[in-house]
């Protein structure tokens, strides 16, 4: 598929409505990882250099069509300004007025698109309202391209549309690294919930040779095999689905790797008293926070034998010490193998990128995608609505 890029458009004196993904982690009002913001800079700079005015639009969290003050993009706006090194004006309410008053060099940031129920419904009316603000639509949000929303899909049919620099870079880099991956391929998929990644897991087992399941998702798989997971995060109602995925993997010849030993604690806080025990021995009152050293050693052996690795999701609660240990230990191995030229490694997703950066391996992967879900759906071979709409 082909799509236009910034080079194909004439931005001089024009207003560009740029869909970006600045859905970044925030703790106590502070942005804890600015990667996604850093990576939209090329597009903003380029449009401005070509004489265009930039109106940024984005989502933040999942407010489900309601105004949720803690999910206002006003919280992120100062960081966007700092990272871009440009004044960024946050606008809420009457966009048309703010847009009419824009001067050359101004950057506007519109309020969280998902405060409007039309956004996630891919509503034509909402898309028209957005489109009326600008002359050109630029999609630079590869990491939201798996969503058919008003700002990623419907709007692309209403204005001259093109891909931003980051969108083009992501698609090019993924194709280069993973277009025809060298085997064995290992996928590390973690995160809190199986429910958000069901289709994905089912599809991945047909594409990869080893699938490491970490985080809360692993608990669901352990529980589905009759293993007690105590008070751990776990979707007990998905036991049947988890078992289906396990049997699908078996017939596809994909090895599913689950924790063999676990690090447990009884309080969700940094440095909580903890112990490492076999995965089959979780007490009723404990929670699983990380994979143990035996699991890590096994995964690292698989990483050593692999040619291609994709990673989306940590093994444990890496943001709380010492439960980062399992995730960091496999990141060290992935980084070493990549640096030695033995492994093509691609990581993506908010938490994953935060973990990679925190481990000091931000420059050691073959490629780091800003995308989590979108990158995995791309890997599954699915058409991404936000990309398809640009064609």
Instruction: List the single partner that 139 binds among ligand 3PG, Mg ion, none, CB under 5 to 8 Å by kind.
Output: none
Residues near Mg ion, by CB under 5 A: 373
Residue ranges in 47-66 that form contacts with ligand 3PG under rule CB under 6 A: 62
**Dist CA 53 CA 243 (whole Å):** 52
**Dist CA 262 CA 339 (whole Å):** 29
- Give the CA dihedral 120, 174, 380, 331, nearest 10 degrees: -100
> Residue 350 catalytic?
yes
Least distance CB 359 / Mg ion (angstroms): 21
Binding mask 329-358 for ligand 3PG (x = CB under 6 A): ---------------------x--------
Asked if 236 interacts with ligand 3PG (CB under 6 A), we say no
Q: Is 150 exposed, middle or buried (CB count within 10 Å of its CB: 0-12, 13-18, 19+)?
A: buried
Q: Is 13 exposed, middle or buried (CB count within 10 Å of its CB: 0-12, 13-18, 19+)?
A: exposed
> Would you say 79 and 37 are in contact if contact means Cβ atoms under 8 Å apart?
yes
Residue (196 or 271) nearer to Mg ion, CB: 196
Least distance CB 136 / ligand 3PG (angstroms): 23
Asked if 144 interacts with ligand 3PG (CB under 6 A), we say yes
Asked if 373 interacts with ligand 3PG (CB under 6 A), we say yes
Q: Which of 193, 248, 339, 382 is catalytic?
A: 193
List, in sequence order, every beta strand (DSSP E) within 180-232. 185-189, 210-213
Least distance CB 82 / ligand 3PG (angstroms): 20
Q: Report the alpha-carbon angle 341-302-245, nearest 5.
A: 125
> Residue 193 catalytic?
yes
- Binding segment for ligand 3PG (CB under 6 A), chosen from 143-151, 287-295, 338-346, 381-389, is 143-151
Instruction: List the single partner that 62 binds among ligand 3PG, Mg ion, none, CB under 5 to 8 Å by kind.
Output: ligand 3PG
Q: Which of 11, 16, 21, 137 binds ligand 3PG (CB under 6 A)?
A: 21
List, in sequence order, every beta strand (DSSP E) within the chain. 15-19, 26-27, 30-31, 53-57, 88-91, 107-110, 136-139, 161-163, 185-189, 210-213, 255-257, 261-265, 274-278, 287-291, 308-312, 344-348, 367-369
Least distance CB 349 / Mg ion (angstroms): 7
DSSP 134-176: -SEEEE--GGGTTS--TTTTGGGGTS-EEE-HHHHHHHHHHHH
> Would you say 325 and 200 are in contact if contact means Cβ atoms under 8 Å apart?
no
Least distance CB 215 / Mg ion (angstroms): 14
**Dist CA 234 CA 255 (whole Å):** 22
Q: Which of 15, 36, 114, 165 is catalytic?
A: 36
Asked if 143 interacts with ligand 3PG (CB under 6 A), we say yes
> Would you say 355 and 320 are in contact if contact means Cβ atoms under 8 Å apart?
no
Binding footprint of ligand 3PG, residue count (CB under 6 A) = 9
Least distance CB 129 / ligand 3PG (angstroms): 21
Beta bridge partners of 265: 274, 287
With CB atoms as reference, the residue minimizing the distance to Mg ion is: 373
Asked if 190 interacts with ligand 3PG (CB under 6 A), we say no
**Dist CA 44 CA 30 (whole Å):** 23
> Residue 36 catalytic?
yes
Residue (109 or 144) nearer to Mg ion, CB: 144
Asked if 191 interacts with ligand 3PG (CB under 6 A), we say no
Instruction: List the single partner that 176 binds among ligand 3PG, Mg ion, none, CB under 5 to 8 Å by kind.
Output: none
Asked if 220 interacts with ligand 3PG (CB under 6 A), we say no
Asked if 119 interacts with ligand 3PG (CB under 6 A), we say no
**Dist CA 302 CA 334 (whole Å):** 10
Of 379, 380, 375, which Cα lies nearest the Cα of 21?
375
- Binding segment for ligand 3PG (CB under 6 A), chosen from 84-92, 141-149, 233-241, 247-255, is 141-149
Residue (83 or 99) nearer to ligand 3PG, CB: 83
Task: Provide the annotated active-site residues.
Answer: 36, 193, 350, 373
Residues at the site binding ligand 3PG, with contacts judged by CB under 6 A: 21, 23, 62, 143-144, 147, 350, 372-373
């Amino acid at each position: 598929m082909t799509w236009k890029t910034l080079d194909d458009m004439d931005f001089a004196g024009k207003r560009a409505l740029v869909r970006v993904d600045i859905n970044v982690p925030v703790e106590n009002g502070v942005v804890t990882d600015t990667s996604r913001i850093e990576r939209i800079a090329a597009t903003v700079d380029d449009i401005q250099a070509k004489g265009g005015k930039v109106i940024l639009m984005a989502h933040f969290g999942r407010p489900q069509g309601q105004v949720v003050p803690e999910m206002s993009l006003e919280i992120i706006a100062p960081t966007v300004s700092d990272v871009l090194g440009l004044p960024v004006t946050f606008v809420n309410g009457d966009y048309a007025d703010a847009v009419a008053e824009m001067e050359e060099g101004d950057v506007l940031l519109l309020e969280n698109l998902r405060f409007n129920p039309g956004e996630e419904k891919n509503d034509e009316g909402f898309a028209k309202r957005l489109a009326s603000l600008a002359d050109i639509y630029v999609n630079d949000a590869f990491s939201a391209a798996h969503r058919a929303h008003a700002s990623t899909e419907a709007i692309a049919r209403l204005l001259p549309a093109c891909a931003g620099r980051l969108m083009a870079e992501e698609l090019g880099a993924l194709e280069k690294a993973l277009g025809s991956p060298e085997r064995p391929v290992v996928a590390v998929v973690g995160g809190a919930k199986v429910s958000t990644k069901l289709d994905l897991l089912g599809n991945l087992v047909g594409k990869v040779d080893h699938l490491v399941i970490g985080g809360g998702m692993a608990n669901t798989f352990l529980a589905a095999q009759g293993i007690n997971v105590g008070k751990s995060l776990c979707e007990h109602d998905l036991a049947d689905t988890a078992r289906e995925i396990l049997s699908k993997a078996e017939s596809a010849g994909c090895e599913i790797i689950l924790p063999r030993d676990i690090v447990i604690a009884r309080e969700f806080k940094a440095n909580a008293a903890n112990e490492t025990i076999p995965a089959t021995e979780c007490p009723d009152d404990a929670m699983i926070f990380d994979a143990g050293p035996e699991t890590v050693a096994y995964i690292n052996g698989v990483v050593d034998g692999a040619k291609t690795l994709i990673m989306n999701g940590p093994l444990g609660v890496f943001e709380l010490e010492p439960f980062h240990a399992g995730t960091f230990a496999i990141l060290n191995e992935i980084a070493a193998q990549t640096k030695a030229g033995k492994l093509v490694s691609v990581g993506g997703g908010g938490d994953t990128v935060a973990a990679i950066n925190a481990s000091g391996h931000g420059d050691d992967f073959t490629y780091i995608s800003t995308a989590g879900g979108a990158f995995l759906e791309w890997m599954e071979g699915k058409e991404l609505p936000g990309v398809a709409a640009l064609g």
